[in-house]
Amino acid sequence: MKKQLLFTAALLFVALTAFGQATALDPLATDTQIRVADTDFSQTDGPFGASGNGVHVNATEAEVINGTISFDVVSSGEDFETSIIFHVRKLYGNSGSVNLTIDGTTEAFPLAQDAGAANLDAYETFSNLTFSQNVMITSTPKTITLDVNILKDAAAEAKFRFYWVRFTNEALSVDNFEIQETTVNVFPNPAKNSFQIDSNNSIERVELYNITGQLLKTYSEEANYDISDLATGIYIANIKTQFGSKTLRIVKE
C-alpha cells in the first residue's frame, strides 16, 4: 500500500498565516520533494510570499529579513523514519542564519557572505541544510520550524528563497549511518575564556559565527579555542571534520 505524506504548512511572522495541504505519494520509495509554495496558502502579514511562478517562498527586505516559517508533516499510513533536507538560497552578499527546529531539537545553520563572488547581488547556489538526526513521521502532526535571519550585508538588499523540503531514506541504513556519523561535543558550555572540542573524527576547521551569521573566528584543530576577546552572548560553531560537519551553539559567559 502506498504511504502518503500529508504536508500542512503555516507561515508565521508577527501574525499567523494559514497554508493549505499538499500530498506526496510513497515518500520513501524515491526521494520526495515538497515545495512550500505549491500549497494553497494565504498571508496576512510578514515578508514571505509565493514567487518565481510558484516555485518558492520568497522574501525581500531593504535591510534584514527576520521571520519564521512553520509546517506540520504527518503520515497517513504506517510510521516511517526519514532524513530531512531543506533547500534555501540567499544573495552572495547577504549573511545570516537559519535555525531548524524538529521535535524540540534546534540546529543552527550559519549562512556566510561570499565576499569573493563576482556579483554580490546574485543568488548563490542552493544551500542544502540537512537536519543531523533522522525523524520519525507518524499520524500525529510533527511541527518543523525555520527561523530565518538574513542581513543585506554587502548586497543591495536582503533576499531569501525557500524552495522545498526533501524527505529521503538515503541515510537510514544503520551500518552506513554509524560509519559516517560524526560525534562532536563542546565543553565547557557555557564557557568563559575558551572551550574544548571532543570529536570522534579529526577536526579540519572550526568557524565561529555570531547569531546573525557573521564569521568572527576561524581555527584549525587546537587543544583550547580562545574566545576571551568576545562579548558575552550566544555564538554558533561550525565544526568541520574529515567525515562531515556539526553546528553547535556556544554560550560565552
- pLDDT above 90 as % of the chain: 17
User: How would you label 77-115 residue by residue, b for 16+ Cβ within 10 Å and e otherwise?
Assistant: eeebebbbbbbbbbbbbbbbbbbbbbeeeebbbbbbbbe
Q: What pTM was computed for the model?
A: 0.62
- pLDDT above 70 as % of the chain: 71
On the 0-12 / 13-18 / 19+ scale of CB atoms within 10 A, 168 is: middle
* pLDDT classification of 189: cutoffs 50, 70, 90: confident
Mean pLDDT over each residue of the chain, to the nearest integer: 74
Report the run of H or E that residue 186 belongs to, with start and end. Answer: strand 184-187
Parallel, antiparallel, or unpaired: how do β-strands 56-61 and 158-168 relate? antiparallel
Grid coordinates representing 67 are: 521571520
Q: What is the mean pLDDT of residues 57-83?
A: 80
User: How would you label 9-41 residue by residue, b for 16+ Cβ within 10 Å and e otherwise?
Assistant: bbbbbeeebebeebeeeebbeeebebbbbbbeb
On the 0-12 / 13-18 / 19+ scale of CB atoms within 10 A, 44 is: exposed
Q: What is the mean pLDDT of residues 37-56?
A: 56
